[in-house]
A = this chain, B = another copy of it.
Amino acid sequence: MRILVTGAAGFIGSALLCRLLSDVDSGDVTGLDLGDAPPAASGRRLSWIRGGLDDRAVLEQLGAAPFDLAFHLASVPGSRAEAEPVLGRRVNLDASLDLFQLLAQSRNRPRVVYASSVAVYGALSDAPVGVQTEARPAITYGAHKRMVEIALADHTRRGDLSGIALRLPGIVARPRPVSGFGSAFMSELLHALAAGERYVCPVSPAATAWWLSARATVDNLLLAGRIDCCGTLQLPALRLSIAEVVAGLARLYGPERSALVTFDPDKAIEAVFGRYPMLDVRAELALGFSHDGSPVELIRNALRA
């Protein structure tokens, strides 16, 4: 079994990489990223390619060895892609399609797990959201994610890839300093209260968002690599208000922590990241995909080293 992980030095990628390397049955792993291999990942089963998928030489290096399973996580974050749409297109769209085209040439119909995003939905209404919800991306990052989902589905239809796209919500807790993501406050809130620091929250206590830990995300990615199902899925996540998350932090770290947070809602952030409706992920739960279970488990998983 030969496995490829793109974006393997990133927040999710490095966690996935470590899990793959700790599982003795998972085979040889090639990590690809602009940066170095994460310090925690090593061993003779790991090969590392430093570079980007938009580099012809990197693609040729990948093409030399066929893969059975690829986790495609590499991307330019949403806020940067919005500011630099030509870069966003080259990395998030063109390079993704180049990777798929390359993997499709191997003739062994590799499994491809693509990290898509809830950014494909665009503005959310009060109605429950799931893969049956019409995708109306409102940022360039989301438009490219949606386009790549369509391209992957077409490769699957053609029979040259076995593709599954998972729509990821904002994942917690990104390491500090958290930047480049509109949902940064979600990670910051967890870090600050866990560390006993004061935190000024840019959304109100009633603001609801979708919460999923990196640990649960890796569980879901690994499941997606194992199962037969192809297509596009919405990852489950806990829908929690800030008040519920703060209560969870107080249960874990002590009731006095609640007093560390004050609220100074930013209308723009609250509008985009504070009104998430229910998720409709019944089909995904039936397939075995899962969220963290409870606010306390979410926080434990999110802040675990």
Which residues in A have some Cβ–Cβ distance to B below 8 Å? 85-86, 89, 93-94, 97, 101, 134, 137-138, 140, 143, 146-147, 150-151, 153-154, 157-158
Chain B CB within 10 Å, residue with most, of A101, A143, A154 = A154
Report the minimal beta-carbon distance from A91 to chain B, rounded to whole angstroms: 14
Q: With a CB–CB cut-off of 8 A, which chain B residues contact A150?
A: 137, 143, 146-147, 150
Report the minimal beta-carbon distance from A174 to chain B, rounded to whole angstroms: 26
Given A89-B97, A97-B89, A146-B150, do A157 and B138 touch, yes or no (CB 8 Å)? yes
Q: With a CB–CB cut-off of 8 A, which chain B residues contact A101?
A: 86, 89
Is the Cβ of B158 less than 8 Å from the Cβ of A154? no
Is the Cβ of B158 less than 8 Å from the Cβ of A151? no
Is the Cβ of B157 less than 8 Å from the Cβ of A151? no
Separation of A101 and B147 alpha carbons in the complex (Å): 16
* Copies of this chain in its oligomeric complex: 2
Q: B86, B143, B154: which contacts A140 (Cβ < 8 A)?
A: B154
Separation of A9 and B204 alpha carbons in the complex (Å): 59
Q: With a CB–CB cut-off of 8 A, which chain B residues contact A137?
A: 150, 154
Not counting A86-B101, A89-B97, A143-B150, a sample of 5 additional A-B residue pairs whose C-beta atoms are within 8 angstroms of each other reads A93-B97, A137-B150, A140-B158, A143-B151, A143-B154
Name A120's closest neighbour in chain B (CB-CB). Answer: B150
Separation of A134 and B158 alpha carbons in the complex (Å): 20
Q: With a CB–CB cut-off of 8 A, which chain B residues contact A153?
A: 143
Q: B89, B94, B138, B158: which contacts A85 (Cβ < 8 A)?
A: B158
Name A100's closest neighbour in chain B (CB-CB). Answer: B89
Report the minimal beta-carbon distance from A121 to chain B, rounded to whole angstroms: 13
Separation of A23 and B173 alpha carbons in the complex (Å): 62
Report the minimal beta-carbon distance from A217 to chain B, rounded to whole angstroms: 25
Q: With a CB–CB cut-off of 8 A, which chain B residues contact A93?
A: 97
A-B contact pairs, 21 of them (CB 8 A): A85-B158, A86-B101, A89-B97, A89-B101, A93-B97, A94-B94, A134-B134, A137-B150, A137-B154, A138-B157, A140-B154, A140-B158, A143-B150, A143-B151, A143-B153, A143-B154, A146-B150, A147-B147, A147-B150, A147-B151, A150-B150
